[in-house]
A = this chain, B = another copy of it.
Amino acid sequence: MAIPADENARRVPAAAILAYMTDAFRACGLPEADAKTVAGAMLDADLSGSDAHGIFRLAGYVKQLKSGVFNPRANITVLERGPATALVDGDNGMGHLVMTYAANLAVELARASGVGWVGVRRSNHSGAGSTYVSIPVAHGMAGIYTAVSSSNFMAPWGGAEPLLGTNPIAVGIPAGNEPPVVLDIATSVVSNGQIRTYANAGKPMPEGWVISRKDGSAITDGKKLDEGMFMPMSTYKGSGLAIVLGLLGGPLNRAAFGRDVKDANSPPERESNTGHFIIALDVARFLPPDVFKSEMDRHIHDLTSSKKLPGVDEIRIPGQGRVARRDDRQKNGVPLAPELIKQVDDLAKTLNIAPLSGRS
């Protein structure tokens, strides 16, 4: 999911964004190491092009921390642990912190047992799923991630009440010389971030993104989002995927799903009890990792070099765009809209930290 490129965007060095976000979280009461972890996970989204999960979210997170909705000093604990499974309680801390912990635990379990499945309760919004499946991938493992979205925007197929999140699925698979394959998709036709971007810009949405709760007709006016529901991808299939991912990420971990998800009528201070799961799978239990990597490279090359339809520039393999964007942004800075830079500079004043603009 990408925020449309803004022609007025300014390139800001990655190191400046990381330092700024770390300061902001420290100012909100996070311990030094936790502030760095959360800022790092958010920068990962900014670098790889999941712009709606990076510094764009900072003001919202700060608000939740300052008002006590998120716990800045979370004590993450392991409630249950088996040879290959664990259940983590996030203590209502920031989702980035909880999921970084859970992903590393899944890798540890997979190292010992071949596969590790870690369920999570009492977490919060954790940004881009690609960030967390990249943790097993960095250890030469495959990763699978889901989140039960902390807001409901989709109905079960045929329904008129939004009782499902756009519960995403992310899958990461290591390769050799080729970039790892990293898929990260919402189970709605388009993600919440993309819909909000159109709505905020006052740009009409294409038909097929949002439908009316009253009669299922198309809603294209972003001002009418409250009357609408997001369309699941591929109709009943996206609804079905959101349900099964939601049940395995939610109720299995005693986390929120369906009518238990916080809504407009919930007390604002109530915690979201966001659920997740993450799986790490050790490739080495199946074949020598070097053989797997070279087979991955061969197959990726076969797909990307295969014949294209007329008018197509490039065949899309999940994750390849991410690596190119990351290289560019590491070198040339992350493009940020002037409005976003102004917003975070204003935020700096309230937090009494150095503004982003002054950093280099």
Q: Show the binding face of A for B, using Cβ within 8 Å.
A: 80, 82-85, 87, 112-117, 119, 142, 155-161, 163, 171, 173, 181, 183, 185, 189, 215-216, 233-234, 236-241, 243-244, 247-248, 251-254, 257-259, 279, 281-283, 285-287, 292, 295-296, 299, 302-304, 306-310, 312, 314-318
Contact = CB atoms under 8 A, between A and B. Distances in A.
Q: List the number of copies, as a whole number.
A: 2
A309 B157 CA distance: 9
Contacts of A317: 156, 243
B163 A306 contact: yes
23 contacts: A82-B113, A83-B84, A85-B114, A85-B282, A114-B117, A156-B316, A158-B308, A158-B309, A159-B307, A160-B306, A185-B237, A189-B234, A215-B309, A233-B234, A234-B238, A236-B316, A243-B303, A243-B318, A248-B281, A252-B286, A252-B287, A254-B286, A259-B302
Given A85-B286, A114-B117, A251-B292, A308 B183 contact: no
A257 B129 CA distance: 26
Contacts of A309: 155, 158-160, 215-216
A190 to B, nearest CB: 10
B252 A114 contact: no
